[in-house]
Amino acid sequence: MIRAATHDDIPRLVELGTLLHHTSSYAGTSFNPDKVGSFLGQLIDGLGVVFAAEVDGQVVGGFAGAITEQWFSDDLLAYDYSIFIEPGKRHGIIALKLILAFQNWATAKGVKEIHMGITTGMNVEGTSRLYKRLGFEYVGPLFKMEVEHGR
């Protein structure tokens, strides 16, 4: 079951986000669970949206996203912050259901476009296939560079 997350879900969502962080391309970057929890609370309170995925009454996944205006126009753009799913459940239908919930929410809010990214470095090919099946168009890669400061 996919539902809107509540403040009671935040500790479990932070736990799932921690698991994702430690196994992703972000593993070398610090992780602040208090900041994550606070930010999820702000999204739940209206800054964006957070969905929770439940299996047998336990939260096993989440989706965080928001809407903004394009920087060059008044058109609304929906985008994901993260999809985080319990490792043993990542290859099922949960991600699909979370993305569809976000698409429905964003469409109801009147967005012109929905942007989804893959920045974790995990299952890039499989996730890309899922996005394409859902109607997303590949528009280009994302690059990153770590900057060292006087080490």
pLDDT tens, position by position, 51-90: 999 999 999 999 999 999 999 999 999 999 999 999 988 8
Mean residue pLDDT across the chain? 95
The string of pLDDT tens digits covering residues 21-44 is 999 999 999 999 999 999 999 999
In a domain, 142, yes or no: no
Q: How many domains does the chain have?
A: 1
Of 35, 122, 49, the C-alpha closest to 80 is 49
In a domain, 145, yes or no: no
In a domain, 65, yes or no: yes
Q: Please report, for the domain that includes residue 38, its CATH number.
A: 3.40.630.30
Instruction: List, as one string, the DSSP characters of the chain.
Output: -EEE--GGGHHHHHHHHHHHHHTSTTTTS---HHHHHHHHHHIIIIISEEEEEEETTEEEEEEEEEEEE-TTSS-EEEEEEEEEE-GGGTTSSHHHHHHHHHHHHHHHTT-SEEE----S-SSHHHHHHHHHHTT----------------
In a domain, 149, yes or no: no
103 near 116, Cβ under 8 Å?
Answer: no
Q: In sequence order, what are the beta bridge partners of 61?
A: 53, 85
Computed over its alpha carbons, how large is the radius of gyration of the chain? 16
Q: How far apart are the first and last CA of the chain?
A: 47
In a domain, 140, yes or no: no
Q: Which domain holds residue 70?
A: 2-133
Residue 45 has pLDDT above 70, yes or no: yes
In a domain, 151, yes or no: no
Residue 151 has pLDDT above 80, yes or no: no
In a domain, 114, yes or no: yes
